[in-house]
Amino acid sequence: MRVLMVCLGNICRSPIAEGILHHQIELKKLEMTVDSAGTSDYHIDESPDSRAIAVAKKNGIDISNLRGRQFTVDDFDQFDVIFVMDYSNYENVIKLARSEEDKNKVQLILNQIYPNENQSVPDPYFGGDEGFDSVFNMLDASITNFINKQL
């Protein structure tokens, strides 16, 4: 299975989610790949936000080597599941979908812990460190549920 994590800039939420899933894949020795992207072009080739790197590191995950990239139509061909962080990301990705098959790949990640509630992972960019801790915990719970469904 190939999974893509998507947020706005690909420097906060989606790299944290990519790091968490990659870590769980390694721990559980799963046949799965993961990547992340942003719907905007604001941070192409940039490292994750320093606070995202710090919260991941605090939880035993290194995301410092990740680099921002923008979501493209080709991602629908490369990935089986596309997790978006909020409804704005969802709308932006769906606009690029070429078919119902493409649209069916796109899911709000918090639906893994709050089924059919379509809740958003808040963007911690303009807040403090506590926002990054909260986002990490939400994503960790969602990804754990997703992994458990795959086992």
- CA dist 59 and 48 (Å) reads 16
pTM of the model: 0.97
- Residue 123 falls in the annotated catalytic set: yes
**Cα-atom radius of gyration of the chain, to the nearest Å?**
14
DSSP-derived 3-state class of residue 7? strand
End-to-end Cα, the chain, rounded Å:
12
Report pLDDT for 10. Answer: 97
Is 69 designated active site?
Answer: no
In tens digits, what is the pLDDT along the chain, a chain of 151 residues?
999 999 999 999 999 999 999 999 999 999 999 999 999 999 999 999 999 999 999 999 999 999 999 999 999 999 999 999 999 999 999 999 999 999 999 999 999 999 999 999 999 998 888 999 999 999 999 999 999 998 8
Position 109 scores a pLDDT of 98
Catalytic-role residue among 35, 49, 75, 123: 123
Catalytic-role residue among 12, 13, 35, 51: 13
| 57 vs 55: CA distance, rounded Å | 5
Report the C-alpha gap between 142 and 96 in whole angstroms.
25
> Is 13 a known active-site residue?
yes
